Chain A
Amino acid sequence: MKRWIAFWSILVKDMRAYYLKPPNISWGLIFPIAWTGMFFIRSGSGLESTLSILPGVMAVSILFGTTSMLAVTVTFEKKNRSFDRLLLAPIPLWLLMLAKTSGAILFGIVNAFIPVLLAAFLTDLSGIAWPLLLPAVVLIAVASTFLGLFIAVSVSEVFEAQTFSNFFRFPMIFLCGLFIPVASLPIYLQPLSYLLPLTYGVDILQGAIRGQNALAYPLSFGLLALSCIGLFLLSLRNIYRKWIV
């Protein structure tokens, strides 16, 4: 019980201190709207293209929302040594890092549904397979957050966190099938796409929203979940190796 009091307090503190701050709320709103507008303009088509760009916009909103916030907040707390307070608390490291990442996961999930909310005004969403879409959004948010954690643990400065995040994020926009199907990519880039967890998340979204998934759902869900576990364990290992030296 004591552990969960600590877990809840870390989550609430992060939500109040970072995620619910007006600049972040507005950023969480503006970013998905900007992406939506940009791809509408780029597609050159009308409202009928809403569903075709929705999976990509949702994925990019989650990816940028989670990685930006987590990589920066963790690096900032590590830099000013307040993170040491968490490491000194009598709670296991895995639970501590789950608490620390939960705020970013929730932020990513909320970000994902802003384009959905906008799309609801523009097109008919009755065809969406929600039982597929909801867990996919959660898993994409978890995977992206853990990618942000991996980045945060790999750097020591806030600006490095931002730069290193972009090293992963921008290629992922083009490689993970967000707006360009993986099958349309040059053959030599496709193996790289399938190494990135977001590819599997976007494929589930494509299936849930448009019925155009390339991979079987169990395979995508399984690989996405494995990626989450792998990134989290890798981050924990790096914390033990780099922060508790």
Chain B
Amino acid sequence: MTVSMKIGLPAASAAPIISVAGLTKRYGPVTAVDGISFQVERGELFGFLGPNGAGKTTTINILTGLAKPDAGTIRIDGLDCTRDPKAAQHLTGIVPDESNLYPELTGFDNLCFCAALYGMRKDERKHRARELLEVFGLAEAAGRKFAGYSKGMKRKLTIAAGLIHRPSILFLDEPTTGIDVASARQIRQMIQGLHGNSTTIFLTTHYIEEAERLCDRIAFIVNGRIVRVDSVPNLLEPLQSRHVLLLTIPGAGQQLAGQLAAAFPGYDIQAPAKDQLRLEAEAAIPLGRLVRFIEEHGMDATEARLLRPSLEDVFIQVTGLEASLMKKEKERSGGGGQ
């Protein structure tokens, strides 16, 4: 699927299109967003990555005017949105974490209605609605009520609704959560297509692989605080020098891990699963010596796999959160995403 429509070209300017400083939001005793600052460049695909409850949706709600900050400043395309949250609403498209179109309206009518909210004239909105339905592969379902759509179709139409007025900035809140794998893949392709058309995209997700695959820069947010912001290559760079080897050894366990650790000082050796050992080292790991050592202990290494350092490793290192926490959330939210 290709996203060939023109989504609105941002004005040529070097200034960041989104600039946030010291943003804070409290709900009673809970600080949902704790003094965060970041900037998003024009045309950038900026990822906001963190577990559920980290403050991702609250941040989007504040940026789009659905919530009021307790402190901090927001500028969108040079407009001060701190005092007047409506100032930049004509520039932004929002795809919330829930598909929230009107169940009683058809797909076509939903898009036309959303276009009208941005003041588009009748002919223009009908043309744009047909164009988007075509692009998102929903043309055949245009006359069906939104209530009867599948989850994936609802998600696609909700994204189409966010794009109806050709926004300069698109806020995507968990776009692939809870939908099937095929739809999630299509949506990721759409996001890449939009990014190719210079639309600035602010993407929140708790799918680490999704963020790694799509984003130019990523902010890790945990407990309302941004713990790191950088480009994906820069985030991965410190781990590039690490060598990680995953060995499959039937019968291997903590005992063999201990013996290996004693024989190969400087290696970080763990037994992450039954019959598996994970070795991590600063330098390349000599396979011959390793295999001989294993055979001398009466076991066979049946498989050796060199692991590429992933954003998940960086996330764990930077946030101190277990990868399993994100994975559990992935499962809780209905899988699909990856």
Q: Judging by beta carbons under 8 Å apart, are B68 and A245 in contact?
A: yes
A42 contacts the other chain (Cβ, under 8 Å)?
no
B: interface residue count bin = 20 to 34
Q: Judging by beta carbons under 8 Å apart, are B90 and A85 in contact?
A: no
The answer for the CA separation of A150 and B307 in the assembled complex, in Å, is: 60
Q: Judging by beta carbons under 8 Å apart, are B86 and A92 in contact?
A: yes
Q: Closest residue of chain A to B92, judged by CB? A: A88
Q: Judging by beta carbons under 8 Å apart, are A87 and B119 in contact?
A: no
Shortest distance in angstroms between A245's beta carbon and chain B's nearest beta carbon? 6
Shortest distance in angstroms between A16's beta carbon and chain B's nearest beta carbon? 8
Q: Judging by beta carbons under 8 Å apart, are A82 and B101 in contact?
A: yes
B residues within 8 A CB of A244? 65-68, 85
Given A80-B103, A82-B102, also A90-B90 (CB < 8 A): yes
A: interface residue count bin = 20 to 34
The answer for the CA separation of A85 and B65 in the assembled complex, in Å, is: 11
B residues within 8 A CB of A10? 117
Interface of A is mostly: helix
Shortest distance in angstroms between A51's beta carbon and chain B's nearest beta carbon? 41
Shortest distance in angstroms between B53's beta carbon and chain A's nearest beta carbon? 17
Shortest distance in angstroms between A83's beta carbon and chain B's nearest beta carbon? 9
B residues within 8 A CB of A92? 86
Given A90-B86, A92-B86, also A85-B103 (CB < 8 A): no
Shortest distance in angstroms between A63's beta carbon and chain B's nearest beta carbon? 26
Q: Which one of A1-9, A182-190, A192-200, A220-228 is at the interface?
A: A1-9
Shortest distance in angstroms between A98's beta carbon and chain B's nearest beta carbon? 14
A17 contacts the other chain (Cβ, under 8 Å)?
yes
Q: Judging by beta carbons under 8 Å apart, are A88 and B105 in contact?
A: no
A86 contacts the other chain (Cβ, under 8 Å)?
yes
A residues within 8 A CB of B67? 244-245
Name which of B96, B102, B113, B121 has the most chain A CB atoms within 10 A of its CB: B113
Which 9 interchain pairs have the tightest Cβ spacing?
Answer: A2-B119, A9-B116, A89-B117, A81-B100, A90-B89, A90-B90, A5-B119, A6-B117, A82-B100
* 5 A-B pairs with C-beta separation under 8 A: A5-B121, A17-B105, A82-B102, A90-B90, A245-B68
| Chain B interface (Cβ < 8 Å from any Cβ of A) | 27, 64-68, 85-86, 89-90, 92, 94, 96, 98, 100-105, 113-114, 116-121, 161
